[in-house]
């Protein structure tokens, strides 16, 4: 069953993303205010959802599990590292699609808006996490320091989430639900958006699975190279 679900993950992801783009471009109606620009609603919020909550959240949870002695393993460290790499990509896509949406709406590609700025800062933190890991060759210290840094930087995520409520910003509020729990979108627009959320979430897990496999192969290659070097030194000593 698990192998079957893994095999279906890629095709299902591709199907949902293709369905999202088809519904978003040709089926759903234009908005009364934004016109066809509203079609970014089916791409930008799902990408931001993956960037801030799914990928960064996975990295944070895996880091917590690594620091907890009962669940400490290199598997948790690899998941945190791979998730953070994917998060960097999705944060960049979030800023790019947001700028494309903001240019005709606000008149500028970039504004020092609270949500935009805090999201960009989170991207810098994610890059710093990757740089921190590369600065240490000891696997244990690298994993521990990376885990602590990931947890500390996760404090920025609720700041991003509530920035539109705490400060007066150009960025709109919640895309799906209002603060009172009422829906902002309805009908085919709602279903297209939900399909987009599921599709991009599955895309993250597919990328995580493939990136994790590469990381395992890399660790095995490094270990075999070290063992071969040690064996060579022993032969030279003899």
Domain spans, the chain: 16-210
- Flag whether pLDDT at 45 surpasses 70: yes
Mean pLDDT across the chain: 85
Contact call for residues 202 and 210 (beta carbons, < 8 A): no
pLDDT in tens, 176-191: 655 555 566 667 888 8
pLDDT at residue 149, as a whole number: 96
Contact call for residues 80 and 52 (beta carbons, < 8 A): no
- Flag whether pLDDT at 112 surpasses 90: no
pLDDT at residue 236, as a whole number: 64
- Percent of the chain clearing pLDDT 70 (strictly above): 83
Q: Write the CB contacts of 55 (distance below 8 Å, at least 6 apart in sequence).
A: 83, 84, 86, 87, 90, 204, 208
Q: What are phi and psi of 177, to 5 degrees?
A: -115, 140
Q: Please, which pLDDT band fits residue 166 given cuts at 50, 70 and 90?
A: confident
Q: What are phi and psi of 3, to 5 degrees?
A: -65, -40
pLDDT at residue 206, as a whole number: 95
Domain 16-210 indexed as CATH 3.40.50 = no
pLDDT at residue 202, as a whole number: 95
């Amino acid at each position: 069953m698990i192998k079957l679900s893994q095999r279906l993950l890629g095709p299902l992801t591709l199907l949902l993303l293709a369905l999202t783009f088809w519904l978003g471009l040709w089926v759903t109606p234009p908005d009364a205010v934004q016109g066809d620009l509203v079609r970014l609603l089916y791409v930008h919020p799902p990408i931001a959802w993956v960037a801030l909550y799914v990928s960064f959240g996975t990295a944070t949870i895996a880091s917590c599990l690594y620091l907890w002695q009962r669940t400490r393993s290199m598997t948790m460290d690899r998941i945190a590292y791979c998730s953070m790499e994917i998060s960097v990509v999705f944060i960049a896509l979030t800023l790019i699609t947001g700028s494309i949406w903001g240019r005709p709406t606000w008149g500028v590609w970039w504004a020092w808006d609270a949500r935009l700025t805090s999201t960009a800062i989170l991207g810098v933190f994610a890059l710093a996490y990757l740089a921190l890991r590369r600065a240490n060759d000891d696997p244990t210290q690298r994993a521990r320091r990376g885990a602590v840094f990931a947890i500390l930087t996760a404090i920025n995520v609720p700041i991003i989430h509530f920035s539109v409520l705490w400060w007066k910003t150009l960025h709109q509020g919640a895309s799906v639900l209002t603060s009172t729990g009422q829906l902002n979108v309805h009908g085919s627009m709602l279903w297209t958006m939900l399909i987009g959320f599921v599709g991009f979430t599955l895309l993250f897990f597919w990328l995580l699975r493939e990136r994790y496999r590469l990381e395992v192969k890399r660790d095995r290659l490094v270990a075999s190279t070290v063992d071969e070097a040690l064996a060579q030194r022993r032969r030279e000593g003899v």
